[in-house]
Amino acid sequence: MEDTTREGQFREMARDRGLRSPRHGFLNKALRRLGGFFAASLLREEIARRPGLMQRVHPRARVVAVLLLLLSVSLASSLSALSAHALLAAGAVFSARIRPRELLGAGLLVAVLFSFLIALPATLNLASGGEILVPILRLDGPRQVGPYAVPSVIGISGEGLRTAGTLLLRTLTSTAAVLCLVLSTRWTDLLASLRSLRLPPLFVHTIGMTVRYLHLLLRQSEEVHLGKKSRTICRRPLVSDQMWVGSRIAGAWEKSLHLMTDVTDAMTARGFTGDFRFAPGRALGMADWAFLVLAGVLCAAAHFA
């Protein structure tokens, strides 16, 4: 009975002072997205453990095959050749048993939207010229805007469509190939494969530490927001929330500096010389070499499609 009375008194005081209940819509969305990020990280490890054809190939062979595909895609110029390379990337995704939803969620959807927005202006005859297929705007006559000549009819041209299609196919094929490699390979195996290709230790070290710090920063943000949500009773002014967010950012920055110093001292005390040490893995077998030869032959044949 006493708790009910206290609760009633608090509600009456809040009503008299014009206090409102807090809104946690954005906070809940942020927490769900953070939790989804960690779940997606675990899911990617689960994809790397699936019994797919790509997962059976040595990680080093997978890295070399993807590099060959990227080089071949950059050298291809015709739409037919790029379409053949896109089929190769789709076949790799299918052989790795990666679902379309997983591939889109890993970043392909963002690449599709961004590439489409970049390629959209290239479809106009302003950038590529050529014969107009779909007129959009008609002017009184041609105009000169600085060093650029504006035709009397602005529209989508055939050359512009070919230019945009070339950009989209090249970008999306390369993105899908890299995502297939990342999703089908464990992170430690990927770093070890990159180091075995004589990449500078600083490059591998930076990649590994960046991923670890991102995970730590996201986990810390989740804990801070959850703590604020559990202690918030009434809605605070926007200025007060902005000051709180600024203080948390400053606190996270200071904590990151101390953590960086502590980690560096701990690694130096344990004999770290700037190079990662990976457990020795198995050598490339006949099946791995056959996979590399097949990848090279398919990339070369795609140019004659």
**pLDDT score of 214:** 72
Q: How far apart are CA 97 and CA 79, in angstroms?
A: 27
| Residues contacting residue 224 through CB under 8 Å, at least 6 positions apart | 248, 252
Q: What is the mean pLDDT of residues 103-109?
A: 82
* pTM of the predicted model over 0.75: no
The residue that leads in pLDDT, 253 or 62, is 62
**pLDDT confidence bin for 278, thresholds 50/70/90:** low
pLDDT digits (tens, 9 = 90+) for 107-162: 788 888 988 888 888 888 777 777 787 777 777 777 776 666 777 777 788 888 88
Q: How far apart are CA 298 and CA 95, in angstroms?
A: 15
